[in-house]
Amino acid sequence: MTDQEIKHSILEGNQESFKQVVDDNQSIVLNTCFRFVNNSEDSEDLTQDVFVEVYKSIHKFRGDSKLSTWIYRIAVTKSLDHLKSKKRKKRFGIIKSLFGEDDKMKEQLPAKETERPDKLAENNDRVKILNWALESLAENQRVAFTLSKYDQMSYNEIADILETSVSSVESLIFRAKKNLQKKLHSYYEQHLE
Amino acid sequence: MNRKEKINIEVEKTLNAFEKVDELESNPFLITRLQAKLDEDNLSANRKNAKNLAAIISPAVFLVIFIINIYTIFNVYSTKTTQPSQNVLDLFAKEYSLGENSYYNNNNFNR
């Protein structure tokens, strides 16, 4: 079935067509969300939200990109919205802590190397540090870099998701890396023994 | 290896951290959860529509009843203040044999 046929089939209430769309795209949506939010539970919730949005908004799919690209665009948008919402709650938590209402400051960066009790979660720590550094990037650089690190996504697909050209994607990734290198250098200057 | 080289290595490792992240497994029950969520959303939407409809209809019904009541009250009071017509009075008098030809007005009474 073509993407337009799938769209019309879902609009007519065909559950099998919708199920097929979910089965075909679930893995990439889940792992795309995971690379942004770095939390498996949040990623599962976001995946559910993405497909609910797909079902409710399928009439808006115009067919100027692939259906899968349109779905991944929704996944990226939902992930970024989730991160913004989390940041707002964190800011509110900081204000509360100033008034002594909340003493817990979660999501601390990993301690200095010599202070960590073990090195078992080394890559997990690096992912946390990378996500911290990514927060300082412009949104389009962050998205381009994050998606480029996922094997299943080509530069062409990233360009379709961002609704830009492949050369723009390459430029965004290049700038993202430069900015991340600066940020990470200053982090390791302070934290590396 | 000097400190600068160490830092560069750490930076490169961190930049490539996403590539070492294990892929999450898909949830086989996602479609069931989606169905439940969509059914729940449909139910909420129907309830909301019913509430909205009630919110529109209730004031309209109230207004209609109010207008009918006002009209009725107006009509009732208008009827009470109107004098009955002469024809109606004459008919009433005839019905109950009232007026100049009544028994008590006869000369016989004054015997």
Residue A106 has pLDDT above 50, yes or no: no
Q: What band does A104 get if pLDDT is binned at 50, 70 and 90?
A: very low
Pseudo-torsion of CA B18, B19, B25, B27, nearest 10°? 40
Which residues of chain B lie closer than 8 angstroms to A146, CB-CB? 18
The whole-angstrom separation of Cα A35 and Cα A145 is 11
Which residues of chain A lie closer than 8 angstroms to B6, CB-CB? 192
With a CB cutoff of 8 Å and minimum separation 6, the contacts of A27 are B23, B26
Q: Which of A34, A52, A149 sits opposite B19 (nearest CB)?
A: A149
Which residues of chain B lie closer than 8 angstroms to A150, CB-CB? 18
ipTM: 0.76
Model pTM greater than 0.90? no
Q: Is any Cβ of chain A less than 8 angstroms from the Cβ of B42? A: no
pLDDT in tens, B50-92: 888 888 888 888 899 999 999 998 888 776 555 666 777 888 8
Contact of A192 with A113, CB cutoff 8 Å: yes
Instruction: Give the three-class secondary structure for B21.
Output: coil
pLDDT in tens, A68-86: 999 999 999 999 999 988 8
The whole-angstrom separation of Cα B5 and Cα B69 is 92
